[in-house]
Chains A and B, each alone.
Chain A
């Protein structure tokens, strides 16, 4: 298969993905969610302005209405990132991942694709790359709208821009890894409801693991045998776990610095999921 043929395939798959109601709804919702924090704060500022009669009136000791209700563009993009990554983008990725593989398998449209002169790896690769395109587009739109609103409403260019932008890049990478995992579950289950259930089960186990390791990290404070060793193991294992990998984007926050282990883990999960999906798909009967 030539690179141009593969590019055609990715383009077709992306057009198809963006024509889905789920993808369009997700794009709108993620942009709206990102736009809400500056809009809400601006509405509050207008209320305070109306209440006090002036933007320069004192709202709190030493703070005017203008200062109390301000959101620099950098903060605006941070809020949009938090809103985006607070389960919403993942929920849409689960639905899209389930639809584009298991859904197409069940509707037999996957069979129609396989009647074309294309190898199976390219079908899978194009589907994942289409999801990655959707992830990048939603992130860029959410970032652009939130930043533009922050600038337009508060005209404040202060704050750190670099870390949030790195956060967006990392979020795109983390979501791409998550999309690969969803695709794997979709290939494994070949059923839309089972894909959703499978990802939910994974999320619950991942969340439980997060709690267990977090508690284990506190073990050295307990007066029990091997407490220190347990604590040390938990400390070392924590940044390698899936929850750390999918949460690498949080590195922009001062409290959770960037952890290289999370990126490595993300790479392993993403690549591993894609390779395993291909290994399953290449021998799969598609009736």
Chain B
């Protein structure tokens, strides 16, 4: 118990280990607003080099958890360590973050905003201009840097936010819904930028989102939160395999109504619902697929597709959060 208290400052919550491989470790994090429990006993582990997707439906507690772990709002309980450091002011030397929509002093230019951030991040004045040029170039805003931030589009603001977040060369980047409010082009740009930061700048990324395809495209590890609690955590591959059901196939044919009627009439087959490309999703269990094909043929229903159902993160997400 003494060790627990030392590590987290909160009695009764588990101790946080101090492995150098761990970029962010959250143990027993809880926060409530009056009667509403926003985050409850949350445990997370983000390893160095991860692009960690923090998933959850709206109102699941993602943003509250991020605010807590960055020290913007108080924790009721729990401990946070960033690269082994539990004192958040010191830990923030290694962290860049965007929480919701990044906010700027709209009457200042993009560059002026970055100068403000550079002074606060304690970047020496002799290096400030070069660092600002570097990040502006990195996010593709060098040409518009002398324009007032108030004139920037949503996508530009998001990129300026990322520029500000990486200004002090952080080892961990925390991004809360970074593509919120962006058009498809902006979403793609930000996604590519995140991927590139992880790959080329070797920054560990912790990104929250409810856009599952986006997370599946850029993240190697995922945590799913619902009602303030972590429901699943692991690599994307693990989560998909863990819940893979080999006994599900999708059956397609030119006459879907006839196909549906035939499948409903088969005792050994469980019709699950629509699949992809107009196909029907069925659980065949022990019933061999070849026999299923034959029986459908025997009752005069043409089959032009019989494919194993592939699962994606959305399926896992729906299972975990339903």
Contacts and interface: CB of A to CB of B under 8 A. Distances in A.
B185 interface: no
- Interface residue range, chain A: 20 to 34
Interface residues of B, number: 34
A113 interface: yes
Contact of B102 (A15, A112, A286, A287): A112
B74 A287 contact: no
Interface string B58-90: 000000000100111110000000000000011
B117 interface: yes
A75 B86 CA distance: 60
Given A12-B119, A117-B121, A108 B72 contact: no
Given A9-B119, A112-B164, A117-B122, A286 B73 contact: yes
A1 B104 CA distance: 24
A229 B119 CA distance: 57
A79 B121 CA distance: 44
Interface in A1-20: 1-2, 4-5, 8-9, 11-12, 15-16, 19-20
Contacts of B233: none
A221 interface: no
Nearest to A6: B122
B72 A114 contact: yes
B99 A111 contact: yes
Interface string B72-116: 111000000000000001111101110111111101100010011
Contact of B107 (A12, A15, A19, A286): A19
A188 B89 CA distance: 23
B230 to A, nearest CB: 22
B71 A16 contact: no
Contacts of A114: 71-72
Contacts of A54: none
A21 B90 CA distance: 35
Nearest to B107: A19
B72 A115 contact: yes
A8 B120 CA distance: 7
Contacts of B96: 115
A109 B90 contact: no
Contact of B103 (A20, A112, A117): A112
A114 to B, nearest CB: 6
Interface string A233-264: 00000000000000000000000000000000
A1 B93 CA distance: 12
A112 B117 contact: yes
Contacts of B104: 109, 112
Contacts of A9: 119-120
A165 B164 CA distance: 45
A125 to B, nearest CB: 13
Interface in A199-228: none
Contact of A111 (B72, B116, B122): B72
Contacts of A111: 72, 99, 103
29 contacts: A1-B89, A8-B125, A9-B119, A12-B115, A12-B119, A19-B105, A19-B112, A20-B107, A21-B107, A107-B103, A108-B100, A109-B104, A111-B99, A112-B104, A115-B72, A115-B92, A115-B96, A115-B97, A116-B92, A117-B90, A117-B92, A118-B89, A119-B89, A283-B74, A285-B67, A285-B72, A285-B74, A287-B67, A287-B72
Given A109-B103, A111-B99, 10 more contacts: A2-B122, A12-B119, A15-B115, A19-B105, A112-B164, A113-B120, A117-B90, A285-B67, A285-B74, A286-B73
Interface of A: 1-2, 4-5, 8-9, 11-12, 15-16, 19-21, 107-109, 111-119, 283, 285-287
